[in-house]
Amino acid sequence: MPAVTISKNSVHETMASSRTGQHPGDTGHQGHVHGDAHGHSHEDDCDHAQERAAQAPQALAAAEALCERLGVRLTPIRREVLETLLATHRPMGAYDLVEDLARRHERRMAPITVYRALDFLLEHGLIHKLATQNAFVACPHQHAADELVIFLICESCGGVDEISSPELSAAMQGIRRKARFTPRAEVIEITGLCGHCGAKA
């Protein structure tokens, strides 16, 4: 049965649980390190990777424009964290990011520096946090802050698709009104197999 969760957690909870060293996006794939092919030779050819590669330049330009419009700074570390997330179609945990940046700069970066960058990017809607993965994905889409976001998470390749559904948004509004419930965030995460991996199963 596919797992669905609606929730919102803090960056700091992610950092605490990421200390185990397991890749947060590797549901059922223990022992892999970030950046390897996870045993799948089609990594660079899968739909997730191709779509993300096409979206990344425009998404980064949109992020720069948003920050300029709001009068906030996309500092070098904030930009680098965003670029790192835009460069992959898989979710990354906070400590994955710390280790990735440390390798790139050949020195250990203070985790609090990455905390703050993630907090900033989350606050301005440039990334999302996946509760089921305890990890982060870049948001290449321009959508309203209160728009229902649906993530389809592949348990095989680790790819994540972000979609929206006006019909489901309308249904959720009805549920909220009936329950008189005010959510902090509306995110649905569904785990299963993407079309690429499902065709090979």
Q: Which of 110, 113, 122, 111 is nearest to 85 (CA)?
A: 122
Quickly list DSSP for 75-101.
-HHHHHHHHHHHT-SS-B-HHHHHHHH
- Looking at the domain 4-22+46-200, which fold is it? Arc Repressor Mutant, subunit A (1.10.10)
Tell me the per-residue pLDDT of 10-31, one tens digit each, with 9 for 90 and over: 444 444 444 443 333 333 333 3
Task: Please state which of the ranges 64-73, 90-99, 102-111 shows the lowest mean pLDDT.
Answer: 102-111
Cα–Cα dist 157/197, whole Å: 7
Given this model, what pLDDT does residue 60 score? 92
| Tens-place pLDDT, residues 126-156 | 999 999 888 999 988 777 666 788 999 999 9
The predicted structure's pLDDT at residue 35: 36
Helix (H) or strand (E) segment spanning residue 190? strand 187-192
Split at pLDDT 50, 70, 90, the class of 181 is very high
| pLDDT exceeds cutoff 70 at 192 | yes
Domain residue extents for the chain: 4-22+46-200
Residue with the two structure tokens 């976001």: 149
The pLDDT value given to residue 148:
85
Q: Are 78 and 124 in contact (CB under 8 A)?
A: no
